[in-house]
Every structure is written in C-alpha cells, then in structure tokens.
Structure 1
C-alpha cells in the first residue's frame, strides 16, 4: 500500500505546480514600479 501512496502523492505535487504569471493585473498595474520613501511617522 505504501508503494502506491508515494508515487500517487508525487504525481499530485507535479500536477499542482504551475508557473507564476509575472505580469501584474490591470487593477494594480498603475502602482507597479519604483517607490520613493518620502516621510517618517512616529
């Protein structure tokens, strides 16, 4: 039984993995870029 469970779990891991999409969604595309720290707050 253990010999069957391990390959089955490995196959689920490989199926569940996917590449991330590096492109930002259109809603947040306007805030993507270099930010500049301009103030401090205590």
Structure 2
C-alpha cells in the first residue's frame, strides 16, 4: 500500500454515519484487548 487517506473532517463520509464514534470504539477495544490497558484507564490515556 502506497497511500492512506484519512477523512478527518467528514469530507468523504457524512457526519450522520458517526464514523469517528466507531473509530473511538475500535481504538478503545484495541487498547484494552491487545495492549492490555485496563478499561477505566483507556479514556484518560487517549
């Protein structure tokens, strides 16, 4: 893969799709399940 495109201002996806909320959930899940960070600490670290 040569190029990654990030939609940081809802240009590619409408805000109604709540893409950023889904990303937040997945980042938190990764931090808990893969990195082993306790769930109550995840939000403070982000």
Query: What is the TM-score with the length of structure 2 in the denominator?
Result: 0.35
Whichever of the two has the greater Rg, that structure is 1
Higher helix share: 2
